Amino acid sequence: MKPLRKIIFPAAGMGTRFLPATKASPKEMLTIVDKPLIQYGVEEALAADMEQIIMITGRGKRAIEDHFDISAELEANLKKAGKKALYKKVSSVARMAEVIYVRQKEALGLGHAVLCARNWIFDEPFGVSLADELIVGDVPAMQQLRAVYNQTKCSVIGLIQVPEDQVSKYGIVAYQAEENGLLRLTDMVEKPNTEDAPSRLAIIGRYIFTPRLMELLRDVQPGKGGEIQLTDAISALAKEEPVYGVLLDGQRFDAGNPEGFLKANAILGLQHKKFGEALRQELIKHL
């Protein structure tokens, strides 16, 4: 197997859960404390030694490209004004990763978005990361997946436990615990009703796949919601070769909707070295 060095960020979604904020700007650019969501995702991927980012974008997503591009005028102004720390922050974003942009021309589903990157993946293993699922912790989520991938050389999916009344929002897995402590996934269902959910372990937007997944995706027919579902391709993959699940450590926020976004900003704001104390004092006044 070739080395794992590529990661796909599906970022073409319309962000309907966050309207009107996402009417004219991408949900991936929503700011958590002082950085857009997508930058958290890219930094997490780089921490897991990913080298090439394949961003799947669409109409109205140009701000993502600009964010990871060099802004010559801004850099020159910051330099001239002697704002060294800011200059460093701004210039490092533009140089942190090799990013390739691929347009998903029609909103046909997450599986279809991933399939749009096929010509950049060829026969290599690859990661997939959904930036609106913000996961922060001591060991970055993608690194937790890579550790299991390095051990098994099989596909690995990030999981969290969710309450029973939440299963219909996620891909839910069926699994068997192996003697070595790994969870082998035997099947998965996209957004099941409570009574059809095989467990309460939910797929949480971090994946590593063998190249076979891309071939299987080509044959996936529209599923839940009439969309080409990534979960259906993983289900087919799990019938051919081992697919493992990792229960992720870390704080996780569904930052693609207002409630999760507010929680992420409040909690990460409180934990922030520079702003945390002032925020805490202000919030206390309102409790």
Chain contacts with ligand G1P (rule: CB under 6 A): 110, 130, 133, 170-171, 190, 202-205, 229-231
CB 66 within 8 A of CB 75: no
| Cβ 202 to ligand G1P shortest distance, Å | 5
| Cβ 236 to ligand G1P shortest distance, Å | 14
Structure tokens at 130: 């959904």
Question: What is the rounded distance in angstroms from the CA atom of residue 38 to the CA atom of residue 35?
Answer: 8
| Cβ 229 to ligand G1P shortest distance, Å | 6
- By beta-carbon proximity to ligand G1P, the closer residue of 204 and 268 is 204
- By beta-carbon proximity to ligand G1P, the closer residue of 148 and 204 is 204
- By beta-carbon proximity to ligand G1P, the closer residue of 145 and 230 is 230
CB 269 within 8 A of CB 28: no
- By beta-carbon proximity to ligand G1P, the closer residue of 140 and 171 is 171
At 75, the amino acid letter reads E
| Cβ 10 to ligand G1P shortest distance, Å | 8
| Cβ 212 to ligand G1P shortest distance, Å | 19
Structure tokens at 262: 């507010």
Question: What is the rounded distance in angstroms from the CA atom of residue 279 to the CA atom of residue 59?
Answer: 36
- By beta-carbon proximity to ligand G1P, the closer residue of 75 and 187 is 187
- By beta-carbon proximity to ligand G1P, the closer residue of 8 and 110 is 110
Task: Tell me the residue number closest to ligand G1P, measured at CB.
Answer: 171
| Cβ 204 to ligand G1P shortest distance, Å | 6
Helix axes 37-47, 141-152, angle to 10 degrees: 30
Residues 6 or more apart in contact with residue 198 via CB below 8 angstroms:
172, 173, 174, 187, 188, 189, 192
